[in-house]
Chain A
Amino acid sequence: MKKFDYLQPETLKEAYRLMEKSKGGTRYIAGGTDLIVNIKKGVIQPDALISLKRIKELTGISQNKELVLGSMTLLRDIERDSSITQAYPALVQAAKVLATPQIRNVATIGGNLCNSAPSADCAPPLLVLEASLILEGPGGRREVPIEGFFKGPGQTCMEASEVLTRIRIPPLNGGSAMAFLKLGRVSTDIAVVNAAACLTVKNKACMKCRLAVGAVAPVPLRLESVEKMIEGNEISPELLERAEKMAVDEVSPITDVRSTEEYRRTMSGVLIKRAIEQAMKGSE
């Protein structure tokens, strides 16, 4: 493994200063459970890492109408937070099945997003919850909807000197219900397919529908055409069948060591159908 410096600033300002001073090849590190593996494999060879662990501005969970998560919130803390479990169960379900207890004790929600794996388990729930991400850097602060954040496997809309500081999840409409489902070889594995649904149901009709799938396209994907088809209608077996077929057509999976393109495509439809069904049960 290539040697690297390890810097531990205590404020964001200091982190930016260290990043601006660096010659390039310097990376921010959050929990490091993906980054260190990639350094060990030689995929990336940074000269220095700037640790975000001591920066207090990046921690904390606050829930007051909207939910705001510091980017360095551990998956472990999301998993055990009773108010998040009650208000946003799909996010907690995703955190619970992400990797292993040892990883969840170190890995952060911000790291899971910034790593930008198409299979990131936190992405589908945050997509259907219409989260927005606060990005800060030496040039200032901006807020981007999560849909515009992912640009491809391992690529986001962030500048090298920017840090994801907070994740904002807006309050839900009354009558909303949600679900998260994951298909993996074993429960702790990287997802073959994952999916989330968030529905607002009034008088049996689905007024608002948000659907997302992961690991089946270069980025975690919102299924907007399926959402539009569902909105305004009562969720019937025929409608679910149409949703399944449409989802299958919207995804563009690949074949790799975990699964085949064909299986992923088929299961995208199945998981979306099941996620809608499960969310509907929750809304009753």
Chain B
Amino acid sequence: MKKTIHFILNGHEVSVEVESHKMLLQILRDNLHLTGTKDGCGQGECGACTVLVDGMSIDSCLYPAFEVEGKSVTTIEGLVGEGNKLHPIQEAFVEKGGVQCGFCTPGMIMSAKALLDENPNPTDEEIRKGISGNLCRCTGYVQIIDSIRKAARSLR
């Protein structure tokens, strides 16, 4: 079963013909060639595939593509700061060493974005809970939490 779905992707309207058994992650990577969103465990455990749907973080590997019809999707490619520079969350990850191998980074940053949009002044505990759905195999959590704390400061 195939259908053309229409949604807003990083601020632009897109229409894609998709098969009914595909997940949003596959559409983003294979059809739309946005490979910033990573394919990790495929089971909603690692959070590497995290994107925002209508502002809420979700695991795109478990999100049926048909369900994004009419919704707004933000991926790591959609995060842009003023003057086409890096977004302040990305800047903070660079500055505070929040990136090691980099595989978890897009998902981490999208979870950080969802957290800071809702709670601009999180405690360390709230930051930890905010990224509890994202695994960093390099275990660089301390620097990731530092990065998000710094991003929160610069966004306030």
Contact = CB atoms under 8 A, between A and B. Distances in A.
A101 B64 contact: no
A4 B21 CA distance: 5
Contacts of B141: none
The CB with the most chain B CB atoms within 10 A, among A3, A103, A187, is that of: A103
A105 interface: yes
Contacts of A3: 19-21
A106 B49 CA distance: 14
A5 B20 CA distance: 5
Nearest to A104: B133
Contacts of B58: 102, 105-106
A37 B20 contact: no
B67 A53 contact: yes
Q: Is the interface of B mostly helix, strand, loop or mixed?
A: mixed
A32 B133 contact: no
A40 interface: yes
The CB with the most chain B CB atoms within 10 A, among A40, A101, A102, is that of: A102
B21 A102 contact: no
Interface in A1-36: 1-6, 8, 29, 32-33, 36
B20 A4 contact: yes
Interface in B20-49: 20-21, 23, 42-44, 47
A165 B112 CA distance: 34
B114 interface: yes
B57 interface: yes
A102 B44 contact: yes
A101 B130 contact: yes
A205 interface: no
Contact of B59 (A76, A103, A188): A103
A51 interface: yes
Interface string B81-116: 000000000000000000000000000000100110
B62 A105 contact: no
B147 interface: no
B20 A102 contact: no
Nearest to B60: A102
A100 B132 contact: yes
Nearest to B52: A105
Interface of B: 1, 19-21, 23, 42-44, 47, 50, 56-59, 62-64, 66-67, 111, 114-115, 129-130, 132-134
Interface of A: 1-6, 8, 29, 32-33, 36-37, 40, 49, 51, 53, 76, 99-103, 105-106, 187-188
Given A4-B21, A6-B66, 5 more contacts: A3-B21, A36-B64, A100-B134, A101-B130, A102-B133
